[in-house]
Structure 1
Amino acid sequence: MAREEKTREKSPTLGVIKMISGGSTDGHSNRAQKAWSRREVINVNAPSGEEEPTISFGSQDLQVVILPHNNAIFIRSKIANYNIMRVFVDSGSSINAIFQEALDQMNLKDYQLEPVETALFGSAGHTVHPQGEIVFPLTIGSEDLLKSVMVTFKVVSAPSSYNVILGRLAINDSKVVASTYH
């Protein structure tokens, strides 16, 4: 066994595979995205100034879960004062998206989409051009612990099994902690 471990340690590295992502997190040009990335690295250790609650998960959080499972995280939320079901919490997404069909069902009058130039790239390699972006208040949580933040959503006209994708931007702004097990 020890001989096999030594052999594996000496295996040459064939290359490096880096992360690929699409969609802008701040600005639409490569220059704006690089500047955003530099700011994020600089601000990692900045104190927030507010006391953070202790977050823990326990057996009580498994009451509605049938184990074993490998389910995605879907939640309910309130967006622009509409209760929205099938909101996908996706820590791998660099954007927040609301699908056009859900936006149409919200029956909002006189909303205007801000233009978006950046295309979105899905894991299957498909390119999607958002219809635009819109800012809505997002409220998540339960009766005793609610959090509301303003969120910028890319409006996507594509078939989907969910209404909204909450990506890293909304997850971080809301200070959400998700446990895929619980």
Structure 2
Amino acid sequence: MIDATTGHEALTFMDGSSGYNQIRIAPTDEELTAFRTPKGVYCYKVMSFGLKNAGATYQRAMQKIFDDMLHKNVECYVDDLVVKSLKREYHPQDLR
């Protein structure tokens, strides 16, 4: 990701760590995330960072969302995003 930003005048780095909690788990799979506490048994309804395939699922979602911008003015690695602009004056537009 760092090599892809070489030669760009403006960079904005964003961390999407709370984005994992925005992705809904399929209702049929909620039961598979069950855990027990002294107060009862609970299941996740949204993806948690600690789930086995959470990183890969989130990466695929980001690639699908930013598909038309990837490797042009956006770079994405798991939960980190970089918006890059060759010229500083283009950066506000690239951020939209």
| TM-score normalized with structure 1 length | 0.19
Q: Which has the larger radius of gyration?
A: 1
Q: TM-score normalized by structure 2?
A: 0.28
The structure with higher relative contact order (CA 8 Å, sep 6+) is 2
